[in-house]
């Protein structure tokens, strides 16, 4: 599945035709709203990741601190010492930035609030990873196999 552009997502109707607030007043209305959202061309469920467009890859979520450094015009992702490392030195070069987005969640609660920038990157060893920057620190938050 190719990613949809922002304009395509913004043009998608917010609710099924004829629905007003509240959206979930009955069981039938909940089903209609769910079916409406499942019809969005830009929405992909985790169970569909291995299907067409993803090349049989799967997504693994993790939350591992990493360092991101710029050296001689290259961007490197480094694992902290003592962590399991794939390569000697634990550093991998960012070959290409594939996507960038902002995640905001838990805004209703100070304890659960999250506001971070996520970058999907292709690394020199062929891995595609999601790196998040939150409160000045970088984390590896997902890997696409």
**Pick from 33-42, 78-87, 100-109: least confident:** 78-87
Domains identified in the chain, total number = 2
Strands 137-144 and 114-123: unpaired
**b/e string for 118-139 if b means 16 or more Cβ within 10 A?**
bbbbbbeeebbbbbbeeeeebb
pTM: 0.54
d(CA 39, CA 18): 16
Query: Is 50 inside any structural domain?
Result: no
pLDDT 10s digits, 114-136: 889 999 899 988 888 889 999 89
Do residues 34 and 102 share a domain? no
d(CA 53, CA 79): 30
Instruction: Give the model's confidence band at 56: pLDDT under 50 very low, under 70 low, under 90 confident, else very high.
Output: very low
Average pLDDT over residues 61-69: 84
Do residues 22 and 92 share a domain? no
Instruction: Give the model's confidence band at 110: pLDDT under 50 very low, under 70 low, under 90 confident, else very high.
Output: confident
Do residues 88 and 113 share a domain? yes
Tracing tokens 């469920």 back to the chain, one arrives at: 45
Do residues 69 and 113 share a domain? yes
Do residues 132 and 67 share a domain? yes
Do residues 32 and 69 share a domain? no
Q: Which range marks the domain in which residue 39 is found?
A: 6-43
Do residues 33 and 63 share a domain? no
């Amino acid at each position: 599945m190719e990613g949809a552009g922002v304009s395509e997502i913004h043009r998608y109707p917010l609710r099924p035709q004829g629905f007003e607030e509240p959206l979930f007043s009955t069981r039938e209305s909940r089903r209609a709203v769910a079916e409406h959202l499942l019809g969005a061309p830009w929405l992909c469920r985790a169970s569909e990741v291995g299907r067409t467009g993803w090349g049989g890859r799967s997504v693994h979520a993790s939350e591992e601190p990493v360092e991101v450094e710029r050296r001689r015009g290259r961007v490197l992702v480094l694992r902290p010492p003592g962590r399991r490392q794939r390569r000697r030195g634990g550093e991998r070069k960012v070959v290409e930035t594939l996507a960038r987005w902002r995640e905001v969640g838990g805004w209703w609660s100070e304890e659960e609030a999250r506001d971070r920038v996520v970058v999907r990157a292709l690394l020199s060893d062929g891995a595609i990873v999601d790196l998040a920057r939150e409160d000045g620190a970088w984390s590896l938050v997902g890997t696409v196999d």
